[in-house]
């Protein structure tokens, strides 16, 4: 695995270390995860297209109180 040297403002590094501590990971691990997430991020166009298809898949669905339905299932399980 390559080691790289990057410049990060002190305040940002402090936040990185704090979040890494909270999440139980290392500074390196947190930065790797952040980089992977950033690289996998979808474009706004991809997001809009995917949610439009999802909404199209709901066309004609009976109107229900979905919040109540989810609550009912959680309490019942």
User: What number of CA atoms fall less than 13 Å from residue 22's CA on the CB side?
Assistant: 6
Nearest distance in Å: CB 6, other proteins: 19
Site string for other proteins, 2-31 (x = CB under 8 A): -----------------x--xxx-------
**Closest to 26 (Cα-Cα) out of 1, 47, 43, 49:** 1
Backbone Cα Rg of the chain: 21
Q: Are 25 and 34 in contact (CB under 8 A)?
A: no
62 binds other proteins (CB under 8 A): yes
Question: Which residues of this protein are in contact with other proteins, per CB under 8 A?
Answer: 19, 22-24, 37, 42, 44, 46-48, 50-51, 53-58, 61-62, 64, 66-67, 69-71, 73-75, 77
């Amino acid at each position: 695995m390559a080691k790289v040297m990057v410049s990060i403002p002190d305040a940002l590094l402090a936040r990185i270390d704090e979040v890494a501590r909270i999440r139980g990971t290392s500074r390196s691990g947190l930065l790797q995860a952040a980089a992977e997430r950033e690289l996998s991020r979808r474009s706004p166009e991809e997001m809009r297209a995917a949610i439009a298809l999802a909404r199209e898949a709901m066309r004609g669905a009976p109107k229900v109180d979905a919040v109540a339905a989810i609550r009912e299932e959680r309490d019942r399980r």
